[in-house]
Amino acid sequence: MKLVLDDVYKAFGSLQVLAGFDLTVAEHEVVCLIGPSGCGKSTVLRCIDLLDEIDSGRILLDDLDIAARGVNANDVRRRIGIVFQSFNLFPHLDVLDNVTLGPRRAHGVPRREAEDRARALLDRFGLADKADDYPNKLSGGQNQRAAIVRALMVEPEVLLLDEITSALDPELVGEVLAAIRDLAERGLTMVLATHEMGFARDVANQVCFLDGGRVLEAGPPEAVFGDPTEDRTKQFLTRVRTAGRL
């Protein structure tokens, strides 16, 4: 598996969010997208999952340009998992039904098989006793872990995580980051948009600083965080440090 974004442009009305965006994600790599709010981190992830349509450029999953005309978006989405900032679990379904909906309906996995896999995954993420609860009975951290399980149920080739700790109370951030760390150690390919700089420094193979709709600076975390070359990166990291977030 290899994911490549090649010269991607995306505008919302007059707002040019992505302008010549390039990114390469290798298999088993964990890539963290950092940058100020509004720099396009979330848009990159939404475009990869074809939730937003790009204006021009290519998005290659292996050798398939998934942004090209005539590509079945449903087939592409079945290979990619995404977790959102605000969980977006389905409030009318209990946790078990939430996480088995994708495999059962989009992948045709029989109920028994889907539920067995769901219970195993829920157990791994500390949610074994929450399978029959509805999302509104769960804490934010439990909701987010359930959303991660939902995305993992279809064994995605790449997992996209969109600021998944931003909506959580501070004391719940740790449990969700621990789950991601576990996935990273198991070699799952992931692209994270995140404000958790300390976490990015720990788990990322590659950190990308976004500015002006493109990757301004990229490299291993020790390089980007320790010795940034671009002024904008330095300014951003200084602000983050001042705020006590790194």
Q: Give the CA radius of gyration of the chain.
A: 18
Half-sphere exposure of 154 (CA within 13 A, CB side): 27
Q: Which is nearer to other proteins, 4 or 51 (CB)?
A: 51
Query: Rounded to the nearest whole angstrom, what is the least distance from the CB of residue 55 to other proteins in the complex?
Result: 17
The residue (of 100 and 233) whose beta carbon lies closer to other proteins is 100
Task: Tell me the closest approach of the beta carbon of residue 236 to other proteins, in angstroms.
Answer: 28
What token pair was written down for 52? Answer: 């937003």
Shortest Cβ 22–other proteins spacing (Å): 24
Half-sphere CA count of 80, side-chain side, radius 13 A: 24
Query: Quick one: 41 or 46, whose CB is closer to other proteins?
Result: 46
Helix or strand or coil: residue 75?
helix
Q: What does the DSSP 8-state code read for residue 163? A: S
Instruction: State the Cα–Cα distance between residues 215 and 90, nearest whole angstrom.
Output: 34
Strands 64-65 and 56-61: antiparallel
Tally helices (H) and strands (E) across the chain. Answer: 9, 10
Task: Report the nearest approach of other proteins to the CB of residue 195 (Å).
Answer: 19
In the complex, the residues that contact other proteins under the rule CB under 8 A are 46, 49, 51, 73-75, 77-78, 80-82, 84, 86, 88-92, 101-102, 105-107, 135-136, 150-151, 154
Enumerate residues 6+ apart whose C-beta is below 8 A from 101.
90, 93, 150
| Structure tokens that stand for 123 in this block | 């157990």
Give whichever of 3 and 216 is closer to other proteins, judged by the CB atom: 3
C-alpha to C-alpha distance for 76 and 70, rounded to whole angstroms: 12
Percentages (nearest 5) of helix, strand, coil residues in the chain: 40, 25, 35
Nearer to other proteins, 72 or 238 (CB): 72
| DSSP-assigned beta bridge partners for residue 32 | 192, 207
Nearer to other proteins, 151 or 207 (CB): 151
**Shortest separation between residue 97's beta carbon and other proteins, angstroms:** 9
CB of 94 vs other proteins, minimal distance in Å: 13
Q: In whole angstroms, how close is the CB of 140 to other proteins at the nearest point?
A: 9
**Residue 105 or 245 with smaller CB distance to other proteins:** 105
